[in-house]
Chains A and B, each alone.
Chain A
Amino acid sequence: MFARLLWSLLRGSRGRLAVALVALISGATVISGLLNLNLDIGRKLAQEFRMLGANVVISSPRPSQSIGSSADAPTAAPAVMDAATVLDEIGLVRSGDIVAAPYLYIVAHSAGAPVVVAGTWLDEASKLAPAWKFAGNRVASRSDMTQCLVGRNVARQFRLAPGSDLALSYLGRSVHLRVAGIVDAGDTDDNQVFVNLPVAQALAALPGKIELVQLSVGGTSATIAQSVAQLAAALPGYDVRPIRQVTEAEGQLLNRTRLLIVSMVVLILVLTALCVLATMAALSMERREDVGLMKALGGSISRIVGLFLAEMGVLGAAGGLIGCIAGMALSRWMGERVFGASITLRWEIVPLTIALMVLVALAGALPLRLLGKVKPAVILRGE
């Protein structure tokens, strides 16, 4: 009986309910879309922040300047560490998404002028610094002993172009390399020559040694902190140093964006409730006659209000469900549009949105209280 009454009520005032339903659906769409985005935005921003390059540096604990005072070869005896042990440990910690590259710096000479030579893995180094722009080719292999990359300023100073030859000498040892590409880093990297690690190790006569490891650890600031703690535990005696500016700025930006989105969600909820409220006010005016009739037939006011509330609940749930589906599509679209990548859909948002919409719909049914005042006799007289 209750269900049948509910059904006929819903059918009876389709037009008005459609307005409320549209309001609920659009509210639910936007809210579920935004909530979904809000949960995923940390990951997305973290990906963007990797553009900044390495965010963790592992080095030997001694400051590298504490060795000798010979000014002409400042890194003649760098605080080196054993490449294999450090890299193995990093490999074991590889819990998250970590890009790592070892570095060995020497100040070599080319055509009589000093230049910083960074020995690294050329295939990983460009992944560590996604902001690099290349003229010419990249070096695809870390065992390529014949090619190098040069920074923009080095290329200008020594008049190098992709394909030209570069001779590097260091303490009597020398090596001839072909310039594969020119790196435009917009950074101090522009002043360096990048060679593969074995080349630099051979020049420095430090086989198997590295000076530091740069890592780009993916994830949000919390997961980065966790990875740093794991690395520090795995590498006792080494200096595992997060580059703080990056992670702090990231956390702040994330908080602000989230706060902004949440406040927008609250505002949109209020507006949706208002919309439903307006529709319900009109509906309760129109329903005065129905209510009068029901009362005259002996329906108690609680039963009648219960009926209307059930109606609103059904409406809210339906609006929430349809809105959620639309919201998934919306957040997908926003992900593509804003971040150029799809957003992971979170199913826990569906019950949340539906609950919110049912609440909003019930709050919007507030004008139905007026129905309690309806006097059947007056209504039936047609006044």
Chain B
Amino acid sequence: MFARLVRESFVRNPRRKIMTAAALVVGMAVATATLTVALEVGDRMAREFRSLGANLLVTPQSDTLPLEIGGVDYRPVDEGAYLREANLGKLKMIFWRHNILGFTPFLDVPAVLAQPQPDRKFTSEAGPATLASPSQPLSVMVVGTWFDHDVPVPDGTRFKTGIRLTNPAWKIQGQWFHDGANEAVVGVTLAAAYPGGISAGKTIYVNVRSGVASQPRPVPLLVTGIVSTGDAEDDAILVPLSVAQSLSGHPGQFRRLFVSALTKPADALSERDPSTLTPTEYDRWFCSPYISSISYQIEQVLPGTDVHAIRRVADTEGRILSRISTLLWIVTLAALVAAGLAVAATSATTVLQRRDEIGIMKAIGATNALVGGIFLAEQLMLAMAGGAVGFVFGVVLARVLGASVFGSPAPPRLVLLPVILGLAAIVAIAGSLVPLRRAANFNPAPILRGE
């Protein structure tokens, strides 16, 4: 009987349900979309921040003090400790390997830029006019690195990384060098300052600055592009790591490693010293992508290294991320409240519209409990249907929002479906409770008289 009453109400008069259903669909679509975006936003913004450059720096532990000025190491090549290139695949074996977005090794070699006539002595004073001004070779920094290097990972997979991933903001005119080829990319300031200028297609000759004995002849490098980094590399020559290694006589080695990792903003737990944590706290710390736990894990797989968070980047990122996500949650909450209010208002309206019906039911002997039960059951069914349809629309809306805000659609989260259905049920029922309470006081006689 009860089921039939409820069913009949839907079958006989579907138009009356339209408004509540529409409000439920719209409200829940908005709720789904905002929640999906809010869940996504931290991750997206964190990725956005990775364009700032790496946030972790790995250096040899037992190193002499780097003589770095403006990001370039001026130590002679035969001084200080090196790291082994062969171990780098292990970075993709740590617990948070999927948060390691990229890493790039760097090897700075103080070098001289010789004059481009290989058949003449570059120190010749008696050369033609083109050679007249820089009779003395230009001293430059040659930076060996990866642009897009294929790294074997010990688990058998391969990982392509390099400054393509860690420094996406670097702008190149022309092309990047090919891995392993005798090619170079010249910093924009250096290219302009070089007498006569350097442009893509030109061949330059570099030689290591100290320890001349190891490399008597200059190495020819084909310039493939001019890079603008807005940083110290603008004054340097970027070459494939292997070229810098053979130039410096340190095959398979490098000095500095920059790692770009997706991290969670620091909080009270991440600031503490891991050795003071209780076992459960330690597990939680280890299993959270804090910058401190990721650097700890990198130190474990690359023994003999020091891993520092580049605090400038990491702190800024953490602060802004936590601020924006707080902001987003407040906004999401506001949208949820608005959605709930809209659904509740329409539910209340539908109950009031059906005063006549309630009057008749009561007149033929329905108890308040029965009337309330019928209405609540209807609302619940509406909430389920509206919530489900709203969820589908919300997924679409989230894709649109994600695409317009972040440039790629936000993936649907099925976890949200029960949340949305529950939310729909709560607001639909909460919205009809007050008018139903009032309906309980209806006196059937005046209603039936049409008053």
A contacts, CB < 8 Å to B = 19, 22-23, 26-27, 30, 34, 37, 44-45, 48-49, 51-53, 61-69, 71-72, 74-75, 105, 107, 113-116, 129, 131, 133, 153-154, 157, 184-188, 190-192, 212, 239, 241-246, 248-249, 252-253, 256-257, 259-261, 263-264, 267-268, 270-272, 274-275, 278-279, 281-282, 285-286, 334, 337-339, 382-383
For residue B353, CB closer than 8 A to chain A, the reply is yes
For residue B90, CB closer than 8 A to chain A, the reply is no
For residue B260, CB closer than 8 A to chain A, the reply is no
Contact B52 A68 (CB under 8 A): no
Which of A71, A116, A263, A334 contacts B401, CB < 8 Å?
A263
- 8 interchain pairs, CB-CB under 8 A: A49-B316, A62-B193, A186-B310, A249-B52, A260-B328, A271-B341, A275-B345, A279-B345
B contacts, CB < 8 Å to A = 19, 22-23, 26-27, 30, 33-34, 37, 41, 45, 48-49, 51-53, 57, 64-71, 74, 76, 110, 112, 136-141, 169, 189-190, 193, 209-210, 228-231, 234-235, 308-316, 319-320, 323-324, 326-328, 330-332, 334-335, 337-339, 341-342, 345-346, 348-349, 352-353, 401, 404-406, 449-451
* B72 and chain A: residue at smallest CB distance: A65
Contact A278 B346 (CB under 8 A): yes
Contact B313 A71 (CB under 8 A): no
Given known A-B contacts A26-B341, A107-B67, A107-B74, A131 and B48 have beta carbons under 8 A apart = no
* A50 and chain B: residue at smallest CB distance: B316
How long is the Cα–Cα vector from A210 to B332 in the complex, in angstroms?
51
CB distance from A18 to the nearest CB of B (A): 11
Contact A264 B335 (CB under 8 A): yes
How long is the Cα–Cα vector from A279 to B198 in the complex, in angstroms?
72
Contact A52 B23 (CB under 8 A): no
* A54 and chain B: residue at smallest CB distance: B312
How long is the Cα–Cα vector from A5 to B190 in the complex, in angstroms?
81
CB distance from A150 to the nearest CB of B (A): 11
Contact B71 A188 (CB under 8 A): yes
How long is the Cα–Cα vector from A49 to B313 in the complex, in angstroms?
9
Which of B138, B312, B315, B341 contacts A275, CB < 8 Å?
B341
Interface of B is mostly: helix
- In the complex, chain B residues whose CB is within 8 Å of the CB of A244: 169, 228-230
Contact A52 B316 (CB under 8 A): yes
Interface of A is mostly: helix
How long is the Cα–Cα vector from A261 to B228 in the complex, in angstroms?
33
* B49 and chain A: residue at smallest CB distance: A249
Given known A-B contacts A252-B48, A285-B352, A114 and B30 have beta carbons under 8 A apart = no
Contact A65 B349 (CB under 8 A): no
How long is the Cα–Cα vector from A129 to B316 in the complex, in angstroms?
11
How long is the Cα–Cα vector from A207 to B356 in the complex, in angstroms?
96
- In the complex, chain B residues whose CB is within 8 Å of the CB of A243: 230-231
* B71 and chain A: residue at smallest CB distance: A188
Given known A-B contacts A186-B310, A249-B48, A26 and B338 have beta carbons under 8 A apart = yes
Contact B326 A338 (CB under 8 A): yes
CB distance from A101 to the nearest CB of B (A): 14
Contact B319 A48 (CB under 8 A): yes
* A19 and chain B: residue at smallest CB distance: B345
Given known A-B contacts A63-B193, A274-B27, A274-B342, A52 and B313 have beta carbons under 8 A apart = yes
Contact B310 A187 (CB under 8 A): yes
Given A248-B51, A257-B327, list of 10 further CB < 8 A pairs? A51-B316, A65-B141, A69-B209, A74-B67, A115-B67, A153-B65, A244-B230, A248-B169, A252-B48, A264-B335
Which of A34, A65, A187 contacts B312, CB < 8 Å?
A187
CB distance from B238 to the nearest CB of A (A): 14
Given known A-B contacts A66-B193, A69-B209, A278-B346, A23 and B26 have beta carbons under 8 A apart = no
How long is the Cα–Cα vector from A130 to B319 in the complex, in angstroms?
13
Given known A-B contacts A65-B141, A281-B19, A382-B451, A339 and B323 have beta carbons under 8 A apart = yes
Contact B334 A264 (CB under 8 A): yes
CB distance from A170 to the nearest CB of B (A): 13
- In the complex, chain A residues whose CB is within 8 Å of the CB of B137: 69
Per CB-CB distance, the 3 closest pairs between chain A and chain B, nearest first, are A186-B311, A244-B230, A278-B346
Which of A75, A133, A338, A382 contacts B327, CB < 8 Å?
A338
How long is the Cα–Cα vector from A299 to B33 in the complex, in angstroms?
46
- In the complex, chain B residues whose CB is within 8 Å of the CB of A253: 45, 48-49, 320, 324
* A33 and chain B: residue at smallest CB distance: B334
Contact A26 B319 (CB under 8 A): no
- In the complex, chain B residues whose CB is within 8 Å of the CB of A75: 69, 74
* A267 and chain B: residue at smallest CB distance: B30
Contact A65 B235 (CB under 8 A): yes
- In the complex, chain B residues whose CB is within 8 Å of the CB of A256: 45, 48, 405-406
How long is the Cα–Cα vector from A156 to B27 in the complex, in angstroms?
60
- In the complex, chain B residues whose CB is within 8 Å of the CB of A30: 334, 337-338
How long is the Cα–Cα vector from A115 to B137 in the complex, in angstroms?
26
Given known A-B contacts A260-B37, A278-B346, A185 and B23 have beta carbons under 8 A apart = no
- In the complex, chain A residues whose CB is within 8 Å of the CB of B338: 26-27, 30, 267-268, 271-272, 275
Contact B33 A267 (CB under 8 A): yes
Which of B138, B139, B230, B327 contacts A334, CB < 8 Å?
B327
Which of B23, B51, B348 contacts A249, CB < 8 Å?
B51
CB distance from A5 to the nearest CB of B (A): 23
- In the complex, chain A residues whose CB is within 8 Å of the CB of B48: 249, 252-253, 256
* B75 and chain A: residue at smallest CB distance: A114
- In the complex, chain B residues whose CB is within 8 Å of the CB of A275: 338, 341-342, 345-346
Contact A278 B349 (CB under 8 A): yes
Given known A-B contacts A26-B338, A253-B45, A271 and B67 have beta carbons under 8 A apart = no
